[in-house]
Amino acid sequence: MAIKSFHPPQRTLMGPGPSDVSPRVLAAMARPTLGHLDPVFVSMMDEMKALLKYAFQTQNDLTMPVSAPGSAGMETAFVNLVEPSDKVIVCQNGVFGGRMKENVERCGGTPVMVEGTWGRAVDPQQLEDALKANKDAKIVAFVHAETSTGAMSDAKTLVEIAHKYNCLTIVDAVTSLAGSPIKMDEWKIDAIYSGSQKCLSCTPGLSPVSFGEQAIQKIKNRKSKVQSWFLDLNLVMGYWGGATKRAYHHTAPINALYGLHESLVILQEEGIENSWARHHKNHLALRAGIEAMGLNFIVPENERLPQLNAISVPDGVDEAAVRSILLNDYSLEIGAGLGAMAGKVWRIGLMGHASNKRNILLCLNALDDALGRVKAPVNRGVAVEAALMEMAR
């Protein structure tokens, strides 16, 4: 049997990531591959660093994309900053905080968990109590935008509290970057990581990271080697580093980086404040439609992520059947619940390129049809009108 070329269907991606990729990004990725030390490619890398600094709102020189998905950005932060026996306070209010704990343990550190409520922001008072009880803690880690629940935490306040107790901060901004305000320098975040496939709307597989001066000092003063060769920033910097000559570390994913470059150019053209505002405005339109149907969000309004809308599945409704209808009849993907939320929520992403009016109306129409077909107790035929009214405001 001759296996033929793979041609995926055209979907609309409104789940927790990957999100719809702009045709401009896909076109950029199809351009000719260069050598990873070609001077033309190296000058693109310099532009990439400048664009990423803009996205994170930082002047940090150590700002670059790790050649692997968001999880590798997470590992980069932890393996470089956490030394054996370091105490690390991990705030958990969803699935991704649990992965931070795993990372701390595998680095030989001691995690101290601040267990919050899933579907709520991290409680600053709870963090402060943990810091008071653990004066020897070195690092505070938390997820800014919990994609598993749709909750946004107050990163500025949490970082302030951590610094009061002389802790460095690791912030997961995988879903927040470009969708919700992040001001790395103004908020004095020490280490941050993100992903290419959420609100940047690039293809999956790259993880932008940035490290501030205090974080770099801690890495430089390590007594033990970073246990990951691939993610050791001391070595990666030889390739991505500033003034010095670039040396081979690993073969950069050249064409994937063209894609990220293009997605960051698109962000720069729109303006990051405008991108934040667009995500917020489109959330309000989707919300109007969802609430008109009589469905409910699980996160209180003031702690809600505009780019990830977690909606309760009505009692007795088979949530997977609804998602199947959307996928099969509308070529539309939304997300299921993750971890403790499995079977209880749908997660509708309005991320990056996918955060637009057309997608909102498609999704509300498709949900209206699917919920009717599974006989869910919702108000039919009103969602689109409610969203249009909100859009016209």
Ligand X SMILES: *Cc1c(COP(=O)(O)O)cnc(C)c1O
Q: Rank residues 206 and 383 by Cβ distance to ligand X and give the closer one.
A: 206
Binding to ligand X in span 222-281, by CB under 6 A: none
Which position among 62, 66, 174, 184 is part of the footprint of ligand X (CB under 6 A)? 174
Which position among 96, 142, 165, 239 is part of the footprint of ligand X (CB under 6 A)? 96
- Count residues contacting ligand X (CB under 6 A)? 13
Please report, for residues 172, 227, 292, 294, 300, the alpha-carbon distance to residue 348 in angstroms, rounded to integers and kept in the order given: 20, 37, 16, 16, 16
- What is the Cα–Cα distance from 221 to 371, expressed in whole angstroms? 57
β-strand partners of 152: 145
If one asks whether residue 147 binds ligand X (CB under 6 A), the answer comes out as: yes
- What is the Cα–Cα distance from 215 to 211, expressed in whole angstroms? 6
Give the shortest CB-11-to-ligand X separation in angstroms: 18
The tokens for 183 are 């001001």
* x/- letters, 290..309, toward ligand X (CB under 6 A): --------------------
Q: Rank residues 192 and 363 by Cβ distance to ligand X and give the closer one.
A: 192
Q: Is 126 exposed, middle or buried (0-12, 13-18, 19+ CB in 10 A)?
A: middle
β-strand partners of 309: 348
- What is the Cα–Cα distance from 302 to 121, expressed in whole angstroms? 9
If one asks whether residue 175 binds ligand X (CB under 6 A), the answer comes out as: yes
- What is the Cα–Cα distance from 363 to 375, expressed in whole angstroms? 18
Give the shortest CB-94-to-ligand X separation in angstroms: 8
Assess contact for 250 and 230: CB atoms under 8 A. Answer: yes
If one asks whether residue 172 binds ligand X (CB under 6 A), the answer comes out as: yes
Residue facing ligand X at closest CB distance: 70
- What is the Cα–Cα distance from 134 to 162, expressed in whole angstroms? 12
- What is the Cα–Cα distance from 217 to 112, expressed in whole angstroms? 23
If one asks whether residue 201 binds ligand X (CB under 6 A), the answer comes out as: no
- The three-state secondary structure class of 123 is coil
Give the shortest CB-85-to-ligand X separation in angstroms: 26
- Give the helix/strand (H/E) hosting 267: helix 254-270
The tokens for 310 are 């977690």
If one asks whether residue 98 binds ligand X (CB under 6 A), the answer comes out as: no
If one asks whether residue 111 binds ligand X (CB under 6 A), the answer comes out as: no
Q: Rank residues 260 and 325 by Cβ distance to ligand X and give the closer one.
A: 260
Q: Rank residues 98 and 238 by Cβ distance to ligand X and give the closer one.
A: 98
Binding to ligand X in span 8-27, by CB under 6 A: 17
Q: Rank residues 74 and 252 by Cβ distance to ligand X and give the closer one.
A: 74
Q: Rank residues 198 and 278 by Cβ distance to ligand X and give the closer one.
A: 198
The tokens for 372 are 């009717």
Q: ∠ CA(349), CA(351), CA(354), 5° rounding?
A: 95
Torsion angle, CA of 280/286/287/288, rounded to 10 degrees? Answer: 120
Give the shortest CB-217-to-ligand X separation in angstroms: 26
Binding to ligand X in span 369-388, by CB under 6 A: none
Assess contact for 120 and 97: CB atoms under 8 A. Answer: no
Binding to ligand X in span 34-73, by CB under 6 A: 69-71
If one asks whether residue 195 binds ligand X (CB under 6 A), the answer comes out as: yes
Q: Rank residues 282 and 307 by Cβ distance to ligand X and give the closer one.
A: 307
If one asks whether residue 192 binds ligand X (CB under 6 A), the answer comes out as: no
Assess contact for 88 and 109: CB atoms under 8 A. Answer: yes
If one asks whether residue 101 binds ligand X (CB under 6 A), the answer comes out as: no
Give the shortest CB-71-to-ligand X separation in angstroms: 3
Q: Rank residues 150 and 289 by Cβ distance to ligand X and give the closer one.
A: 150
Which position among 25, 79, 88, 143 is part of the footprint of ligand X (CB under 6 A)? 143
Other CB atoms closer than 10 Å to residue 275's CB: what's the count? 24
Contacts with ligand X by CB under 6 A lie at 17, 69-71, 74, 96, 143, 147, 172, 174-175, 195, 204
